[in-house]
Structure 1
Amino acid sequence: MEEKLMKALHEVLDPEYPVSVVDLGLVRGVAYEAGKAKVRLTFTSLGCPCTEIIKEDIRNRLLQVEGVQEVEIEEVFEPWSAENISPKGRLILLQLGVT
């Protein structure tokens, strides 16, 4: 089930760039237990203005996964850096002119 959750999260795009929250390195873990999807999520900065939009998009997408009745998002403020971006995410950003 965790694989299905991650696949779904690859469809959730950052509000500022067309890169998934997974490829940006924001998703730090997923779990599933008794109908509840649990997501560990960090942000690029403590003052990120898009936190609520990202959390709502994650919640809406995961509730579409068969078997998920509830979504719990745990905000973890683990240090984030550009090193957390996947190769796919880096390619998309480079194509957009973001370095």
Structure 2
Amino acid sequence: MAEHLIEPTQLENDVMDALSEVLDPELGIDMVNLGLIYGVKVTDGACLITMTLTTMGCPIGDILHDAITQAAEAVAGISSCEINLVWEPVWDISRMSRYAKVALGIHE
């Protein structure tokens, strides 16, 4: 049976747009283009962001957590933000956008 993908709501798209402004301070590329944001779900103003980091024990994890929370909560209609940090599926460079790969000099 085929999976049915649910289209993101406008509010969820607005959160993703806000997250595209959150830069990884080490790489200078935003979280969305790096492929670190796996999903955004908004229910009654409460935002749940499922994401990962490039490596377990990432030293800037706390900085990114705070920046992501602030960006999401700055979106009109978002009253709170929770981050679900996951390690599966494992992040790798295939999750990066073409923009991020070009900016980092990665040629596949």
What are structure 1's unaligned runs of at least 5 residues? none
Partner amino acid for 1:39? Answer: I
Structure 2 distance, partners of 1:12, 1:47, is: 19
Structure 2 distance, partners of 1:56, 1:15, is: 13
| Superposition pairs of residues 32-47 of structure 1, within 5 angstroms | 32-47=42-57
Larger Rg: 2
RMSD: 1.3
User: Where does residue 100 of structure 2 map in the other structure?
Assistant: 89
Q: TM-score, normalising length from structure 2?
A: 0.84
What are structure 2's unaligned runs of at least 5 residues? 1-10
- Percent identity over the alignment is 34
Structure 2 distance, partners of 1:26, 1:50, is: 14
Greater relative contact order (Cα < 8 A, sep 6+): 1
Partner of 2:64, secondary structure, is: helix
Runs (4 or more) in structure 1 with deviation over 2 Å come to none
Q: TM-score, normalising length from structure 1?
A: 0.91
Structure 2 distance, partners of 1:69, 1:46, is: 29
